[in-house]
Amino acid sequence: MAMISTSQTTDCHTSTHSTSQNNDCHTSTHSTPETTDCHTSNQSSQNTDCYTSTHSTSQNNDCHTSTHSTPETTDCHTSTHSTSQNTDCHTSTQSTSQLNALRRHQEYGKIFREQFGSQYNVLVSDPALMEEILRTEGKFPSRPPYESWVLYSNLRHRRGGLMTAQNEYWKKSRSTLAVRLRPKAVCDYVPGMNQVCEDFVERIAYLKDDTGGTHLVPHLLNELNKFFMETIVFVMLNKRLGCLDKNVSGQVNGFIQAIATMFLTGHQLMVFARFHQMLRTRPWRDHVKSWDQIYEFAAQHVNQRIDEVSTELETGGPPLEGEHVDFLKYVVGTRQLTREEIVDNVIEVFMGGIDTTANATAFLFYLLSKHESVQTRLVAEIDSLLGKRQADSSDLQQLPLLKACVKETLRLFPPIPINARTTTEDVAIGGYHIPKNTILMMNLYVVSRDETVFPEPDEFRPDRWLRGEETSAHPFSLIPFGFGTRSCVGEFGAVSLVLQHFRLQKSDLFDIKPSVRTQLTPGPELPVMFVQR
């Protein structure tokens, strides 16, 4: 696989792709220039990953190739693809699909259009353009939902939840749920969450291979998934599932497996989901089966909790002003959503929250294990503030390096590498006219790896986020949680407790192989050794 070296990337960017101002080489060599249309790249159809689908260059004989001044295009093209000598470990841990995305933006610029069947997508990798998109969205911002999720909801006559909802139903769900998931509200759950963290640390100590001497934790990503599932279920349902018990029950394991299958098959159905449904293909059948299992398990727990809080509300009356109310009690108390709508929403929040946080934490552990000097400074920061005590909600503000490490991890490996919007009316972005129903794909990953935005983009340098050294990057250059009224409702949990117990070391046995499986993931096994402190 050809690698992209940083210096060559710079050449390409500066010489040919400066974008939004319409003064880049693409625009300047267009036959129909300013403010009309952006570049078009025709997709070579059958790709299973709509984010990363490789276009066949030879088919690009429309405005892109036909209007380009050939020498410049050729220069740029070859300069970004001829770097096979690069053995740098940074680039080797980029997923193939993200490397493809980088190349395409290097080739076509920071805004270009591609056609996918009858659907037009506009791909954007410029913070200023992303700001324009996100600041001009209307009352009901529309994020294209995973089609397979919507097809499943329709099949089972469900309304779906926050992740897939649109228009008035989305607004109603959002205003009911988000308020109790904001960081301030989640602080109320910190003592219980710390208990979950303690159990996770105990489980890591139990699982890590000390006798074999590798100190590795088998299936670490799966363990992180369990940890975040336990945490999110605790916050939302005020109950423990037992995901971190020594012997996890068959039911809980089945639920975890079903989520993994749902995401995997969802990724396979990313393109032409309707055809898969019509033809009842294997991925479609597995997708439906896994959703059914997820619903069966989760609905049982959510319904049980709705019954409990409904009784509490009937007997105790509405909560007093300022009184801590748990998430579901609050939601039921608002009477805004039906029982079925609550179930659908809670399940989709689970699905939005578990894998994202697990993948992000896995990448963070990996990066810390690889960068011992950062880890040493971070451990010193945590030790001097917390000693042996557990973190509480006010501590995060006093752990600037921890925050910086989290930000830097999300920059290098954003779990949702591409965020998107569907235009609900004709709009102008970067001077281009974009018709209604176009999908605007904002490639967070490509921005993160753009050295005109972040110097030394492939380096893990948390210091770039610290006071005094703060990056001068555009405010929209790092938006891993999205922005605006449709942004993420979740908040990223602390990892301080793990570092209070273990020193993380990179194992030489193997390295990660990131890939996009609906989300950007480092893969099931991580070369991170947990050495007891």
Segment contacting ligand HEM (CB under 6 A): 75-83, 196-204, 350-358, 455-463? 350-358
Segment lying near ligand HEM (by CB under 6 A), choices 39-47, 152-160, 269-277, 474-482:
474-482
Residue 197 in the binding site for ligand HEM (CB under 6 A)? no
Site string for ligand HEM, 164-183 (x = CB under 6 A): ----------x------x--
Lay out the site mask for ligand HEM across 414-433 (x = CB under 6 A, - = otherwise): -xx--x--------------
Selected binder of ligand HEM within 217, 325, 489, 495 (CB under 6 A): 489
Stretch in the footprint of ligand HEM (CB under 6 A) among 190-198, 387-395, 484-492, 502-510: 484-492
How many alpha carbons fall within 13 Å on the CB side of residue 448? 27
Query: Is residue 163 near ligand HEM by the rule CB under 6 A?
Result: yes
Q: Taking a C-beta distance cutoff of 8 angstroms, is the pair 408, 461 a contact?
A: yes
Whether residue 446 contacts residue 105, with contact meaning beta carbons closer than 8 Å, is answered with yes
Residue 279 Cβ vs ligand HEM, minimum distance, rounded to whole Å = 30
Site for ligand HEM contains 237 (CB under 6 A): no
Q: Is 518 among the residues that bind ligand HEM (CB under 6 A)?
A: no
CB of 139 to ligand HEM, least distance (A): 13
The window from 20-28, 73-81, 289-297, 411-419 that contacts ligand HEM (CB under 6 A) reads: 411-419
DSSP code at position 479: -
CA-to-CA dists, residue 346 to 196, 235, 252, 349, 482, angstroms: 20, 11, 17, 5, 20
Q: What is the DSSP letter of 507?
A: -
Question: Would you give the end-to-end CA distance of the chain in angstroms?
Answer: 39
Residue selected from 360, 401, 402, 516 as contacting ligand HEM according to rule CB under 6 A: 360
Comparing CA positions, the residue from 233, 207, 206 lying closest to residue 220 is 207
Distance of closest approach, residue 406 Cβ to ligand HEM, in angstroms: 8
| Chain Cα centroid distance, residue 21 | 29
> Is residue 162 close enough to count as binding ligand HEM by CB under 6 A?
yes
Determine, following the binding rule CB under 6 A, whether residue 529 of this chain makes contact with ligand HEM.
no
Q: State the burial class of residue 244 (Cβ atoms within 10 Å of its Cβ: 0-12, 13-18, 19+).
A: buried
Q: String of b and e for 167-180 (b: at least 16 CB within 10 Å)?
A: eebbebbbebbbeb
* Integer Cα distance of 443 and 447 in angstroms: 7
Q: How many residues bind ligand HEM (CB under 6 A)?
A: 26
Comparing CB distances to ligand HEM, the nearer of 283 and 415 is 415
Specify whether the backbone of 387 is left (phi greater than 0), alpha (psi in -120 to 50) or beta: left
Q: Which is nearer to ligand HEM, 24 or 49 (by Cβ)?
A: 49
Query: What's the distance, CA 371 to chain centroid?
Result: 23
Binder among 127, 160, 283, 490 for ligand HEM (CB under 6 A): 490
Q: What letter represents residue 89's amino acid?
A: C
Residue 12, annotated as binding a ligand: no
Instruction: Give the position of tokens 């479609």.
Output: 284
String marking each residue 99-138 x if it binds ligand HEM according to CB under 6 A = ----------------------------------------
201 near ligand HEM (CB under 6 A): no
Helix (H), strand (E), coil (C) string for 421-465: EECCCCEEECCEEECCCCEEEEEHHHHHCCCCCCCCCCCCCHHHH
Annotated binding-site positions for heme? 488
Binding site for ligand HEM (CB under 6 A): 143, 162-163, 174, 181, 232, 349, 352-353, 356-357, 360, 410, 415-416, 419, 480-483, 486-490, 492
